[in-house]
Structure 1
Amino acid sequence: MERRSGDGNAGGRVRLAVAGAATMAVLGPLVWLWQASLLPETYSVMDMGHVDYGGGPRGAMAHAGGGASAHGAHAGAGRDVTRLVADPDRRADVAVTMVARKERFRLPSGRAFEGFTLNGQSPGPVIKATKGQLVQVRLINESVPGGITLHWHGMDVPNAADGVAGVTQDAVGIGKEFTYRFVADQAGTFWYHSHQMSHEQVRGGLLGALVVAPAAQDKATDEAADEAMDVVALVHLYNGVRTVNGREGDVPVQAPPGTRVRVRVINTEYGLMPTWAGGAPYRLAAVDGTEVNGAAPVRDKAVAVAAGGRADIEVTMPEDGSPVRIHLGGPAGVVLGSASYAAPPVPRPAAMLDLLTYGAPAPLAFDPGRPDRRFAYDMGRRPGFLDGVPGLWWTINGHLYPDVPMFHVAEGDVVRMRISNDSGEAHPMHLHGHHAVVLSRDGVPATGSPWWVDSLEVGAGESYEIAFVADNPGVWMDHCHNLPHASEGLTAHLMYEGVTTPFTVGGPAANEPE
């Protein structure tokens, strides 16, 4: 009996050991993956992920990789992003002060909203400039906890003015201020918003429109740039309530018969927004701040405006005085009229305007067929850990954040990039500091007007080829503008040879760029 008992105990110990080994075999890798995913309290984006030279030369700066401890290898090397500024001796042509507050405010409809304001309102004031003017914006944080910044979405500003916390500046804490300076060297429709905890602060109201009018000499030489009536239509959701310029429902605008009207549509939301006209044909005059070449009249088609993107819709008011409705993702929108604003909603057209073929071809100033760098930005999704949190996370080229590419370029490079989406959801991709031209979609080449974008909707299963010239030195974000997706790891960076940043994510300023 004793022998049998001893044998039983031994057998139990063996089974326990086997079970323990099996458990460790399962949990061990998970514990390792969990620990490997933890982000340091402070790190430089220059040291995250892995380098991608796109087939080009490595250059003088090696990419250290592996966390903030490598940051010291870059200290003092090359150009600091803080030196990439507009002419410091030039006086501002447009000077604006913005005071940011966390407060309860009322929309024009009277609905109260708990969020953020700029100069006591949300959206913030429309900033207007003329092409070639130097814009100066002094941002003061009166009461927004966690700090703030302002990013000039679509405007290719100097890197020091890009407004990304932890990359180009520190977040502006309560009681502090920061001044942005840039030359508005492109006429078009743009917008601004916070890039500190952006998925919270933008939704909460820290945003506004930026409109750059053509210069006088452009109006004299370009018939499309001559005087037209100008209407801003910034679309934003406050707690699920759709607004245009902060108003609920239709926005009526006086427009006499025969008047040419340009409606500058700005989609500040996270998803694709269809836009169409009822009551008259329209032209898609510009996309993301760039004029469309040979824009022809459109009927019975809608324009898909990407999250963060802009579309300038131009109509000529009917001579009989009947109103025209510009639909902005639904029945409500901008109603242009004179004697009446009774323009009934028109159902969304079944067809969408294909920007791959719209407009007339025009030569490019560079040859995308002979690029200096070729990059892939392949989006997917898989289970894993992000900063210790388990979940189903976005991937870039098969890797979870922060093990994502740092795309290295040298100034003057022609860059070609393939963006593909196998993640199961659409992603509006936004490259800071540059406009790119769309070359193809799903292998089909572009044949219309050069389609220049800074916010490109890449649908599930789609693949795009884009190209641009690396002509704006800095360290630039390249991320999904569905801002929760960016905070969930769908973020990479474009880094110029010889450029460094002293700023870090986290740290004393508590920088949170996503």
Structure 2
Amino acid sequence: MAVLVPLGYLWATSLVPGTYNAADMGYADYGGGPAGGHEHMHHEMNIADLTGPKTGTPDVSVTLVARKEKKGLAGYTLNGSSPGPLIRAESGDLVQVTLINESVPDGATLHWHGIDVPNAEDGVAGVTQDAVPVGGQHVYRFRAKDAGTYWYHSHQVSSDEVKGGLFGPIVIAPKTPGEVLATIHTYDGKRTINGLTGSQRQQLTAGTAARVRVINTDNAILRIGLTGTPYKVVAVDGREVNKPTPTTKAYALAAGGRVDLEAIVPPTGLRFVAGTAALTLGIGPVDPPTAELPAETVDLLTYGTPKAIGFDPAKADRRFEYRIGRRIGFLDGVPGLWWTINGHKFPDVPMFMVAEGDIVRMTISNTSGQAHPMHLHGHHAVVLSRNGVASTGSPWWTDTVEVGNNETYEIAFVADNPGLWMDHCHNLPHASEGLMTHLMYAGYVTPFRIGGTTHNTPE
């Protein structure tokens, strides 16, 4: 009895309700700021009203049909392929995407990873919308503000659907003659660039400025880079790097992260290496020689040149801790070794509460034994320090930061995009195992529910 009673209690208290409101999850953490925001709100606002422009003819209009079908290496497709089609827009364009679910049995959504869209357009099942059932459709509309390299993917049963192929690239920028897209994904243990295994080649004239837009859609960090000539890291997670300098080092790209690499194509060509010499993309007039990536990696903490970030992190209104750990116990009645946030297991995790206009500092520390690519929806944060060492390079703006075991990052951002936003590990199985919480703006409510008759299962 001395063993069984506590075990029974732990089992019972670990059960996740069959349906629940994400806004009511866990416990409120106000980060030292006021509970109600800066001023008292007389009525609650519905995040379903936080849409993109409802009127106006879209500059870019795309229909994506989601199917569960075996096509090449993929188990799911969008418009018959995986990755799905490249969506291209320019800064300022009104983008409209219609998702039609033809045959994905669990339902599907589209999340615009790294694009800070209005909350109702964020595409998270049970949080910002209901999953689109078979035979259903959903229209997303948003203004493409920030030029950069992004991607879209389902945020319904995402640990299965993204892995199986429900994703694609989106680029907000005019097409240039030297643009090269490299969407990296592993299907059933086979790593691919743009859906293809092995070595490929893209013909570019010597002297062309090649801009390689790299997207890591996998669950783990990738060491990538260009060989054959020095290159510059010109953008990280859709944000330009200030005064980048040439390097020959490798680049460590977090799961879910993007990076733009730029180099002048030499007469002998250059090669993009996607983690292994077996998977490369030759770029140039001839097939360039194969080469391994160097052991050293670019450190964004010191890369590039400082410039103003537009706000003062020293004047933070909220200071949060996001401590990632791991412990034995039950999660939804299942015994195992589960992730914790600030010592708490899902769903009893902190809800980070902010008010619009707040300057927010967050310290993310990890003692869980594994690395975690941490992704905050709806916002870009700037890295202030890593392991207590301050950033001295270009402002390192990011939406997906790799926090290694025994590492601590301090980040800061302005709470300028109201709603209810996921803040989770983008190793998607980790998120489905409880490494997931939310950033919530005071005064907002969501009409959507996780679980229940809609079967919303965001992770």
TM-score normalised over the length of structure 2: 0.97
1:88 matched to 2:59? no
1:471 maps to what in 2? 416
1:40 maps to what in 2? 17
Q: Give the match's secondary structure for 1:248.
A: coil
Equivalent position to 1:141, from 101, 125, 129: 101
The alpha-carbon distance between structure 1 residues 253 and 60, as it changes in their structure 2 partners (threshold 3 A), is: closer
1:282 matched to 2:231? yes
Letter in 1 for 2:46: D
1-structure distance, mates of 2:70, 2:429: 24
Contact map agreement 1:117 1:205 (CA 8 A) in 2: yes
1-structure distance, mates of 2:194, 2:385: 34
Deviation at 1:344, TM superposition (A): 2.8
2:264 maps to what in 1? 316
Letter in 1 for 2:123: G
Contact map agreement 1:77 1:500 (CA 8 A) in 2: no
Contact map agreement 2:37 2:355 (CA 8 A) in 1: no
1:98 maps to what in 2? 64
Deviations 1:434-460 (A, max 9, x none): 000000000000000000000000000
2-structure distance, mates of 1:186, 1:293: 16
1:451 maps to what in 2? 396
1:79 maps to what in 2? 45
2-structure distance, mates of 1:54, 1:328: 40
Question: How big is the alpha-carbon RMSD for the aligned residues of Structure 1 and Structure 2?
Answer: 1.4
2:330 maps to what in 1? 385
1:305 matched to 2:253? yes
Letter in 1 for 2:30: Y
Contact map agreement 2:37 2:354 (CA 8 A) in 1: no
Letter in 2 for 1:85: T
Equivalent position to 1:247, from 179, 190, 196: 196
1:179 matched to 2:129? no
Deviation at 1:53, TM superposition (A): 0.3
Q: Aligned runs of 1:18-29 on 2, under 5 Å?
A: 24-29=1-6
Q: Give the match's secondary structure for 1:172.
A: coil
Deviation at 1:507, TM superposition (A): 1.4
2-structure distance, mates of 1:328, 1:284: 15
Contact map agreement 1:228 1:262 (CA 8 A) in 2: no
1:238 matched to 2:187? yes
1:442 matched to 2:387? yes
Deviation at 1:251, TM superposition (A): 2.2
Letter in 1 for 2:393: G
Letter in 2 for 1:154: G
1:421 maps to what in 2? 366
1:325 maps to what in 2? 271
Deviation at 1:25, TM superposition (A): 1.3
1:115 matched to 2:75? yes
1:55 matched to 2:55? no
Deviations 1:235-284 (A, max 9, x none): 00110111100111122111101000100000001111111211111000
2-structure distance, mates of 1:261, 1:228: 8
Deviation at 1:345, TM superposition (A): 2.4
Deviation at 1:334, TM superposition (A): 1.6
1:336 maps to what in 2? 283
Letter in 2 for 1:328: A
Contact map agreement 2:227 2:293 (CA 8 A) in 1: no
2-structure distance, mates of 1:448, 1:179: 40
2:428 maps to what in 1? 483
The alpha-carbon distance between structure 1 residues 443 and 370, as it changes in their structure 2 partners (threshold 3 A), is: same
1-structure distance, mates of 2:333, 2:239: 42
Aligned length: 456
2-structure distance, mates of 1:240, 1:120: 21
Deviation at 1:330, TM superposition (A): 0.9
Q: Which has the greater radius of gyration?
A: 1
Deviations 1:109-147 (A, max 9, x none): xxxx35111001111000000001011000000000010
Q: Give the match's secondary structure for 2:17.
A: coil
Contact map agreement 1:373 1:414 (CA 8 A) in 2: yes
Deviation at 1:90, TM superposition (A): 2.1
2-structure distance, mates of 1:382, 1:375: 22
Ranges of 4+ aligned residues in structure 1 off by more than 3 Å = none
More helix by share: 1
2:170 maps to what in 1? 210
Deviation at 1:78, TM superposition (A): 1.6
Q: Aligned runs of 1:344-363 on 2, under 5 Å?
A: 344-363=289-308
1-structure distance, mates of 2:325, 2:85: 38
Contact map agreement 2:74 2:165 (CA 8 A) in 1: no
Q: Give the match's secondary structure for 2:28.
A: strand
Q: Give the match's secondary structure for 1:508.
A: helix
Q: Give the match's secondary structure for 1:59.
A: coil
1:4 maps to what in 2? none
2-structure distance, mates of 1:360, 1:330: 30
1:126 matched to 2:86? yes
1-structure distance, mates of 2:143, 2:368: 38
1:199 matched to 2:153? no
Contact map agreement 1:103 1:115 (CA 8 A) in 2: yes
Q: Give the match's secondary structure for 2:163.
A: coil
1:153 maps to what in 2? 113
Letter in 1 for 2:211: R
Q: Give the match's secondary structure for 2:172.
A: strand
